[in-house]
């Protein structure tokens, strides 16, 4: 199938050809015609499958007729992080180059005044993180009654980050008659439940994680003795990077403060490193990211939140300085390498006490991560075999004494199956809703999130909006009929 079979306009086909794409990816093939028909979509797809174009392309065509009114966006895309929102905005630039649609990005950490100005001018496509969107809404700076298309991207990540109450609030402010597209990399029960309330008779589309990444990522696990010092982990990381002669890579830490420590340590030891975490101002984050993408920075130390969805095609290595405590994060982390058919390498440094997290990862992926001796220089053994059903059912063996130490290729595709069958590591639904109830005060969550993301919300112009602000609804201008007594 080619792009011209999908029903897209000539302008879009030209833009797609300019981007160098020959054939649609599976999610594009499945989703684009359905979105063009105006049907809702519930898509299970990860970053790297081409899912962004699967919704941006048809949206651009649907929106090409009509004009946005001031403060009334015609479509809304919700993203969990600022970087992902910025990436989606770039996609609109690329694919929308022959159309004259306006877009705006509402993300924390950037000037609210500029964002308000963009809203005032009217936008066809609004790309936003939930917190900043609600902030502006509550300040009367935008109206959501004209949104015809809603995209909820990375829904499972929204759930992890505690954004679902915000998303629910936003959805309740939108017109009932709309087209909704919801995407999630995994399908825990909570996401299925939400899809039932957000979507109407959706077409369910599920695509496997890019097979190239599953097939081309070489993994390894170095386990240090229980209680080893952080210093020891940093030395192990340095040895590993040198031994691997890594061209470039991301070093993942579980905690924000460790990002800075590991980054500074790498710099001190002569590595060309950068860091990405929530305490950095947004312009500095974007600059670091761009320098990493351009190859000016060789190693980027970052947290899961900061690195989520980063699309860097030629990354040779991923190093997990810490074992992720959520098994799904492991799949997301290692998916940053081995893209577009290239060979990738993903190494994890564990302490003895991390064995329960390693076991959860192995149980989820159905494959044991091959152990690597930190003092030996040979690469971990490879085996092409897919995980057997038994491997997926049986809890994986512990790092010491594991049975199959050779299997090492992950098949993250099963993340799309319902939570009951595969997502053994996700917290039960009741636990999720309890946790979220605790966070039900939006203002508290907003403050908590801003602390986590490291920005102060307010660079807003002047105080609260009075009445309807500058917006005067047209019916206010209608003349009253004269009464008889006049």
Q: Where do contacts with ligand AMP occur on this chain (CB under 6 A)?
A: 21, 24-25, 28, 47-53, 311
Question: If 0-12 CB within 10 Å is exposed, 13-18 middle and 19+ buried, where does residue 28 land?
Answer: buried
CA dihedral sign, ordered 418, 421, 427, 432: positive
Q: How far is the CB of 311 from ligand AMP (least distance, A)?
A: 5
How many residues are there in the chain? 486
Between 304 and 322, name the residue whose CB sits nearer to ligand AMP: 304
Q: How far is the CB of 1 from ligand AMP (least distance, A)?
A: 11
- Residue 192 · residue 321 · CB < 8 Å: no
Q: How far is the CB of 215 from ligand AMP (least distance, A)?
A: 17
Between 75 and 425, name the residue whose CB sits nearer to ligand AMP: 75
Strand ranges of the sheet holding 249-252, from the earlier edge strand across to the other edge: 217-224, 344-351, 317-320, 249-252, 299-302, 273-276
CA–CA–CA angle 136, 164, 363 (5° rounding): 145
- How many C-alpha atoms does 470 have within 13 Å on its Cβ side? 9
Of 226, 186, 224, 183, which is closest to residue 205 (Cα–Cα)?
Answer: 183
Between 112 and 209, name the residue whose CB sits nearer to ligand AMP: 209
Q: How far is the CB of 452 from ligand AMP (least distance, A)?
A: 24
Between 21 and 98, name the residue whose CB sits nearer to ligand AMP: 21
Between 48 and 399, name the residue whose CB sits nearer to ligand AMP: 48
Of 189, 199, 144, 191, which is closest to residue 163 (Cα–Cα)?
Answer: 191
Q: How far is the CB of 339 from ligand AMP (least distance, A)?
A: 8
Between 55 and 252, name the residue whose CB sits nearer to ligand AMP: 55
- Residue 127 · residue 104 · CB < 8 Å: yes
Residue 113: helix, strand or coil by DSSP? Answer: helix
Between 136 and 187, name the residue whose CB sits nearer to ligand AMP: 187
Q: How far is the CB of 32 from ligand AMP (least distance, A)?
A: 10
Q: How far is the CB of 427 from ligand AMP (least distance, A)?
A: 27
């Amino acid at each position: 199938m080619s792009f011209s079979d999908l029903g897209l306009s000539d302008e879009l086909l030209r833009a797609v050809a300019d981007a160098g794409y020959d054939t649609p990816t599976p999610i594009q093939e499945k989703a684009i015609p359905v979105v063009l028909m105006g049907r809702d979509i519930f898509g299970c797809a990860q970053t790297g499958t081409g899912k962004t174009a699967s919704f941006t392309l048809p949206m651009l065509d649907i929106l090409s007729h009509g004009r946005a009114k001031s403060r009334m966006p015609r479509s809304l895309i919700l993203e969990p992080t600022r970087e992902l929102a910025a990436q989606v905005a770039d996609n609109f630039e690329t694919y929308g180059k022959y159309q004259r649609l306006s877009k705006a990005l509402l993300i924390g950490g950037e000037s609210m005044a500029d964002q308000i100005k963009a809203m005032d001018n009217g936008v066809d496509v609004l790309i936003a993180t939930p917190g900043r969107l609600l902030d502006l809404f509550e300040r009367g700076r935008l109206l959501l009654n004209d949104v015809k298309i809603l995209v909820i991207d990375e829904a499972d990540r929204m759930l992890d980050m505690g954004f679902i109450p915000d998303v629910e609030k936003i959805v309740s402010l939108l017109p009932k008659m709309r087209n909704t597209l919801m995407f999630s990399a995994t399908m825990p029960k909570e996401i299925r439940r939400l899809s039932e309330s957000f979507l109407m008779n959706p077409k369910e589309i599920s695509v496997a994680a890019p097979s190239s990444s599953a097939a081309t990522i070489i993994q390894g696990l170095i386990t240090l003795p229980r209680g080893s010092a952080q210093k020891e982990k940093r030395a192990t990381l340095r040895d590993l990077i040198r031994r691997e002669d890594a061209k470039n890579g991301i070093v993942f830490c579980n905690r924000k403060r460790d990002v800075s420590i590991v980054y500074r340590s790498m710099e001190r030891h002569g590595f060309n490193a950068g860091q990405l975490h929530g305490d950095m101002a947004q312009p500095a984050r974007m600059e670091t990211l761009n320098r990493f993408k351009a190859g000016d920075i060789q190693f980027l130390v970052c947290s899961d939140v900061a690195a989520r969805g980063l699309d860097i095609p030629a990354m040779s290595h991923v190093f997990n300085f810490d074992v992720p405590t959520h098994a799904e994060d492991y799949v997301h982390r290692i998916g940053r390498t081995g893209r577009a058919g290239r060979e990738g390498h993903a190494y994890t440094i564990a302490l003895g006490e991390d064995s329960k997290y390693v076991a959860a990862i192995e149980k989820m992926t159905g494959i044991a991560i091959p152990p690597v001796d930190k003092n030996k220089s040979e690469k971990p053994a490879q085996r092409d075999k897919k995980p057997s059903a038994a491997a997926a059912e049986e809890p994986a063996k512990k790092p010491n004494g594991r049975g199959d130490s050779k299997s090492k290729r992950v098949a993250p595709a099963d993340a799309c199956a319902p939570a009951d069958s595969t997502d053994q590591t996700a917290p039960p639904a009741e636990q999720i809703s309890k946790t979220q109830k605790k966070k039900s005060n939006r203002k508290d969550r907003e403050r908590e999130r801003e602390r986590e993301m490291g920005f102060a919300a307010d660079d807003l112009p002047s105080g609260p909006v009075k009445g309807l602000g500058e917006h005067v609804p047209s019916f206010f201008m209608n003349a009253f009929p004269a009464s008889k007594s006049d």
